[in-house]
Structure 1
Amino acid sequence: MGLLDAFLGNASANDANEIQLELSQLLSPGEQVRSAYSVIRDLMVFTNKRLILVDKQGVTGKKREYLTIPYRSIERFSMETTGHFDLEAELKIWVRGQAAPISKTFRDDKSIYDVYRALSEFAV
């Protein structure tokens, strides 16, 4: 179900230990992955120090962009749930120094609540 969820745009929880190993070259000493979510091919990784957004690019996904957002730089965040005719949920994160928010689209409410809860835990 996790793979199907990823293709449909639903966020699915990833094993924190697997992501810890995958990102070991990027993490600072003592930094630990607390939770991670896949949205299509991309990742949202919550560590004890920062939020890492991984944008997998290209056909194979081998090329990747890593965006680090220190929790102290997150000014606010919001979520918009699905409706009767609008079947996509949206998460927005405003980062200090940027006019436009970072926006992620989800296909269901359950997964956006999980990510919003993680943001509430780490960014507040």
Structure 2
Amino acid sequence: MIDFNNSAFFKMSRIDPKKIVGDVQPLMVQNEQIVGAYKAMRDYVVFTNMRVIAVNIQGVTGKKKDLTSLPYSKISAFSVETSGTFDMDSELEMYFSGLGKVKFEFTGSSDIVQIGQIISAYSLR
């Protein structure tokens, strides 16, 4: 599993989910749909209608992948920090029962408010 306390997820930008669906599709269940995907250099995060899937690309060739499933139902709290005038980056912090804090940073071009709405819609059910 990804060590979220020591992991340095670089600032992520929105990507077309079609580019990574082949990697996460085997992990997805019936009626689960991708609602957004964000990528750093090699690693990426996929938001579905049921969970967040964090993908850590490993090894020189990148064929080895660590996929971590973070269900919305286990979120006890989350925080969204929007970009400002001088600080163009935004952040998402989620607190999972049994796991603790998971933090992702996004470039200013990412729609952090939309990400917050997705998490609200699915975690508050």
Q: TM-score, normalised by structure 2?
A: 0.70
Give the alignment of 1:1-124 within 5 angstroms: 9-15=11-17, 19=21, 21-28=22-29, 30-40=30-40, 41-99=42-100, 101-108=101-108, 110-124=110-124
More helix by share: 1
Contact 1:72-1:123 at 8 Å conserved across structures = yes
Paired amino acid for 1:71: Y
Contact 1:11-1:111 at 8 Å conserved across structures = no
Q: TM-score, normalised by structure 1?
A: 0.71
Q: Secondary structure at the match of 1:97?
A: coil
Q: Distance in 1 between matches of 2:114 and 2:15?
A: 9
Query: Which one has more relative contact order, counting CA pairs under 8 Å at least 6 apart?
Result: 2
Structure 1: tracts of 5 or more residues without a match: 1-7
- 1:50: how far off? 2.6
Percent identity reads 29
Structure 2: tracts of 5 or more residues without a match: 1-9
Q: Distance in 1 between matches of 2:110 and 2:11?
A: 12
Q: Distance in 1 between matches of 2:62 and 2:19?
A: 21
Q: Do the aligned partners of residues 68 and 10 (structure 1) sit closer, same or farther apart at CA in structure 2, a change above 3 Å counting?
A: closer
Q: How many residues in Structure 1 have an aligned counterpart in Structure 2?
A: 114
Root-mean-square deviation (CA, aligned residues, Å) is: 2.7
